Each structure stands twice: as C-alpha cells, then as structure tokens.
C-alpha cells in the first residue's frame, strides 16, 4: 500500500509539472498594413492544445506593440482568457533569425580558427623536435650520408616554417572574422529592438484539439514615406509620374513573403474632435505679451510644418496608367472614407534593419502644360515647369521627386499638394538653353539725389532672355521692387516694361513668348525717397 501511494504521488507530481510547462508556438507573419506612422501586423499560429487550461507562449511577434490594439482569435471551442506581451530577449526562442544566423556563423568560424591553431601548434612542435634531433651521434657516418641527412633537415625545416607562416596568416584572417561576428552580436545584444517579442496566453480548451490562432496588433516600429519620379521626354508629351514608397521596419522579425498593404492613414493620431471652451481675457505685462506672441509664432510654424508633413486623407484618383509592365501592375489603389490603401499582390521580403526598401506603387501619365519660369534676382537659371490643372482629384501626398528629363537625371523637386492655387506647378528641372541675365544699369546722374532733407535713390535693372533651343518657349519672368513700411519712405515704380504689377507685394510678372535664337529685354526701374539722415539696411 505504501508503494502504491508513492507511485500515485509521483504521478501527481509528474502531471503537475506537465500542467505548469507552457506550450510553445511560432507566429507566422502573413500580412502587414504599413501606415505613414506605424504598422498593423497579422499573424497565424497553429497549436495543439490539451483539454482544460493551458499557458501558451507565442514567439516571433514584434519587439514593440500597442497592447490596446492586440486582437487574438481562436477556434470555437477555445477561449483566450488573457494575453501578456513580453520582451525577454535572453530566451533562444525570442532571438531574431539574424541573431541566430550570426550565432551559427560564430560557431563555424570559431571551430575553423581552433583547427588552424591546432595545426600550427603541431607544425611548430615538429619543428622543435627536428631541431633537437638533427645533431649526429658517432663518427661512423660517411660523407654521402651526412650530405643526405643535411638535405633532409634543410628541406623539412623549410617545409615546416613555410607551413607555419601560412597558417599564421590564415589564423589572422580567421581571428578578424570571429571578432567581426562577435561585434555584430554585441550590437544586437545592445539593441534589444533588433530581436522579436513574445506573447503569453492563458487559454481554455473544451476538448483536446489543434486550432489556428489569429493575432493582429499595431507596432510603431514601421512606416513608409512617399517619393516620386517625374519623367518627361518632350514638352509636347504628357508627364509621367511614378508613385513610389520607401518602407522601413525595425520590428525585430523578418517579413518573409508577406502580403503588403500601404495606407495613407495614421491610426496613432488622436481621433477626438476638438471642443472650444470660453476665452477669458486677462491683463498681463509687456514681457509676458512678447513671450506669448513669440510662442504663438513658433507654434504656428510648427503646425505649418506638421500640416505639410501630414498625409492627406484621400488617395490618388485613377488616372491614366501606362502600358509598361512592372510592379505597379500588381498594385491596386482603394479609396476608403478617411484614407487610401495600396494593395500589392506580390509577396515582399523586408528585413528588420530600419533601412529604406523601395516599392513602386503606380505609374501614371498626366496631361500637363509646360512653361518656363525664372526669377533671376534669386536664381540665374530658368526652370521648366509642368502645370497640372484639376489636381485636387489626384490627391497627391507631399513628397520629394526625382526629375528625369530627356532620359537624364537633372535634380530633385518637391510635390506639395497642399497649395491653395487651382494649378499645381511641378518643377521639372533647370534648362541651361534658356539663358537669363539680370544686370544693374549704372546711371550716375540719376543714381542719388538730395532734395532738401530728403535723399532719393534710383535703381534700374535690365533683364535679357535668350532662347538657345530649337523650339519657341513661353517664359514666366518675375522680379520685384521694394514696398514701403514707413510714411516717411516713398517708393515709386518708374518703369516696368508692361509687366503685371502687384502693388501690395511689389512683384512684377512678364509673360514672354520667345522664338528660337531670339533675345528679349525688359527693364525695371524704381526710386526710393527717404530722410537723408536715415539708412535703409536692406536696400
């Protein structure tokens, strides 16, 4: 009876240990939706569960996740009781594939280094033994035997010393390789974000069964940015716009052959509508007023930058798609109520390095009207501009653009769809064949005059534009004259060569049509009268 009780106790202990040991499963990443900030990851894990309550460890999830966004679903007879996120990177199951690969590489490299060292030591010991035994014992050896023995020692020593030298060189190379791998492992250990995380689930199964567990969550360690390629072969042809994305992720897990979707939305942005409260005025000091005004200006500047960086709510409209076969043909643009998504049908591999991974989304052909634009006071070159009307229906995102004109890379531009005008002007680059020169005309007689207590200065500029191209060009030319901010300062526009004048800003605009080989001239002249005891710093 005593033996039976002992066996039964051991059985209970065994059952208790088994019940406390957690089950382990790997989360397979199936699809990812990348937002402008953050990403939603969707996993599946197939687990065999015993009847009753179990603790389940799910590996290969992101290193950082928003636990409020965590959603887990299992089979009909399985209940998820609780879920906890862990980042215990000392466990082997939480090490990233890159870390495990480096560990294997270190083992192989260390093994090869040990072999090389052992061979070198053996050769060196043989050389020492040879040196000790090369002396001749007795005087019975003939001259021929002495010569033969000397040749043997010489040949063997040379062979061993050469072998040792080569082994030392090989050893140095292998030591560098081992050191390099060790440093890479140390970098991974120093940055735990390069490894994945783990979910601890408490589950209850009505019956023993194998079930699929679906897991989705948001992680901040991924995002995408937009950029464009603007291509134009001739000013008589439409503008080609390649819509591209740079995708970055540092979630600690490899995205291997995942279904990738890019969204213009931002799930981390506060979705609560603002409410105005009463605005009570109070007296304050002048110092407080100045500080508040400066702070308001800075806040407005920050808000302006944020608005420029923020993606618009709507997507790109369906424009004319080019017939070139490429990745863009496998991308579908979908319009939602508050955002847009680009579904890519080709599975993607993106490593968790945080480096940019370029993805081509769509290629469009957009009707455009080309013109040249020059502001010689600010820049001596003329710029070719592509003018797009009704651009609101395209709903572009703000982003940098690479410019390729006539099959040549000519620079960068920026697409800013948040402009308030009804026309979007895209810079296609500089054109050196439209030559613009702005020169100041020196006139001593009319330059400076003193009229009593007043001083009057006159400025005259001549702008020459030459068309060195084989076709006519239309040029929008701009310059300016100063605007007075003081009642004692008088500015008068004397000559404008029939320019359109904005008196509030002082900007002059000429619309010039220039034939091939033709040169056109315009003049700008203005005077500034102010008290002679004053100095205008920026005149």
Identify the weakest region by mean pLDDT among 62-66, 198-202, 408-412: 408-412
Q: What is the pLDDT of residue 510?
A: 96
Q: What is the pLDDT of residue 518?
A: 96
Phi, psi of 251 (to 5 degrees): -80, -5
Q: What is the pLDDT of residue 479?
A: 95
Domain count, the chain: 4
Identify the weakest region by mean pLDDT among 118-122, 132-136, 324-328: 324-328
Most confident of 37-46, 100-109, 388-397: 37-46
Q: What is the SS3 assignment for 55-81? A: EEEEEEECCCCEEEEEEEECCCCEEEE
List own/partner pairs for 110-114 with CB under 8 A and 24 or more apart: 110/178, 112/174, 113/171, 113/174, 113/175, 113/177, 113/178
Same domain, 170 and 203: no
Distance, CA of 169 to CA of 150 (rounded, Å): 29
Mean of the pLDDT values across residues 323-330?
54
Which residues span the domain enclosing 180? 97-136+143-192
> 3-state DSSP call for residue 36?
coil
Q: In this structure, are residues 496 and 524 in contact, taking their beta carbons and an 8 Å threshold?
A: yes
**Total count of residues recorded for the chain:** 539
For the chain, give the mean pLDDT.
Answer: 79
Q: Is the pLDDT of residue 34 over 60?
A: yes
Cβ-in-10-Å burial (0-12, 13-18, 19+) of 122 comes to middle
Mean of the pLDDT values across residues 143-164?
79
Same domain, 360 and 257: yes
Same domain, 364 and 464: no
| Residue finishing a domain among 355, 390, 423 | 423
Q: Is the pLDDT of residue 193 over 90?
A: no
Same domain, 497 and 455: yes
Phi/psi-derived region of residue 170, left when phi > 0, alpha when psi is between -120 and 50, beta in every other case: alpha
Distance, CA of 59 to CA of 215 (rounded, Å): 11
Q: Token digits for 163?
A: 């072998």
Q: Is 2 within a domain?
A: no
Q: Is the pLDDT of residue 299 over 70?
A: no
Same domain, 212 and 231: no
Q: What percent of the chain has pLDDT over 70?
A: 77
Same domain, 115 and 71: no
Same domain, 102 and 89: no
Mean of the pLDDT values across residues 512-517?
95
Q: In this structure, are residues 196 and 28 in contact, taking their beta carbons and an 8 Å threshold?
A: no
Each residue's pLDDT tens digit, 438-489: 999 876 556 678 888 888 989 999 999 999 999 899 999 999 999 988 888 8
Same domain, 89 and 102: no
Tell me which residue of 352, 351, 349 sits closest to 251, measured CA to CA.
Answer: 352
Q: Is the pLDDT of residue 173 over 70?
A: yes
Q: What is the pLDDT of residue 281?
A: 65
């Amino acid at each position: 009876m005593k033996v039976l009780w002992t066996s039964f106790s051991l059985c209970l202990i065994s059952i208790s240990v088994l019940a406390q040991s957690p089950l382990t499963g790997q989360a397979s990443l199936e699809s990812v939706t990348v937002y402008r900030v953050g990403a939603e990851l969707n996993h599946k894990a197939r687990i065999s569960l015993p009847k009753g309550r179990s603790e389940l460890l799910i590996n290969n999830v992101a290193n950082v996740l928003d636990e409020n966004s965590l959603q887990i679903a299992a089979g009909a007879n399985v209940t998820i009781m609780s879920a906890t996120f862990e980042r215990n990177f000392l466990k082997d199951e939480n090490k990233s594939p890159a870390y495990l690969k480096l560990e294997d590489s270190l083992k192989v490299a260390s093994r090869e280094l040990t072999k090389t060292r052992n061979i070198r030591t053996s050769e060196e010991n043989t050389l020492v033994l040879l040196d000790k035994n090369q002396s001749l014992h007795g005087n019975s050896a003939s001259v021929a035997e002495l010569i033969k023995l000397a040749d043997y020692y010489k040949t063997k020593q040379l062979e061993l010393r050469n072998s040792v030298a080569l082994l030392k060189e090989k050893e140095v190379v292998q030591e560098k390789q081992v050191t390099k791998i060790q440093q890479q492992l140390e970098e991974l250990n120093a940055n735990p974000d390069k490894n994945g995380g783990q979910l601890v689930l408490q589950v209850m199964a009505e019956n023993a069964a194998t079930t699929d567990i679906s897991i989705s969550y948001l992680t901040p360690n991924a995002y995408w940015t937009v950029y464009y390629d603007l291509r134009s072969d001739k000013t008589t042809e439409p503008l080609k716009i390649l819509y591209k994305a740079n995708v970055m992720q540092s979630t600690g897990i490899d995205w291997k052959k995942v279904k990738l979707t890019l969204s213009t939305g931002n799930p981390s942005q506060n979705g609560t509508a603002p409410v105005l409260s009463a605005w009570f005025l109070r007296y304050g000091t002048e110092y407080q007023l100045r500080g508040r005004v400066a702070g308001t200006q800075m806040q407005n500047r920050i808000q302006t930058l944020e608005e420029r960086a923020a993606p618009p709510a709507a997507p790109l409209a369906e424009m004319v798609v080019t017939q070139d076969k490429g990745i863009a043909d496998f991308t579908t643009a979908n319009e939602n109520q508050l955002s847009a998504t680009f579904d890519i049908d080709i599975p993607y591999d993106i490593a968790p390095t945080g480096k940019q991974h370029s993805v081509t989304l769509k290629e469009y052909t957009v009707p455009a009207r080309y013109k040249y634009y020059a502001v010689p006071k600010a820049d001596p070159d003329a710029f070719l501009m592509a003018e797009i009307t009704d651009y609101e229906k395209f709903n572009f995102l703000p982003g940098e653009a690479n410019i390729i004109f006539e099959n040549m890379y000519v620079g960068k531009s920026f697409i800013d769809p948040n402009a308030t005008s009804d026309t979007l002007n895209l810079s296609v680059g500089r054109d050196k064949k439209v030559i613009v020169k702005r020169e100041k005309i020196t006139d001593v007689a009319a330059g400076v005059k003193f009229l009593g207590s007043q001083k009057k200065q006159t400025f005259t500029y001549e702008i020459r534009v030459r068309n060195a191209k084989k076709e006519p060009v239309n040029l929008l030319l701009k310059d300016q004259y100063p605007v007075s901010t003081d009642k004692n300062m008088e500015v008068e526009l004397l000559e404008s060569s029939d320019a359109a004048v904005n008196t509030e800003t002082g900007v002059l605009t000429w619309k010039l049509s220039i034939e091939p080989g033709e040169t056109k001239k315009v003049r700008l002249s203005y005077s500034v009268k102010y008290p002679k005891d004053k100095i205008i710093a920026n005149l």
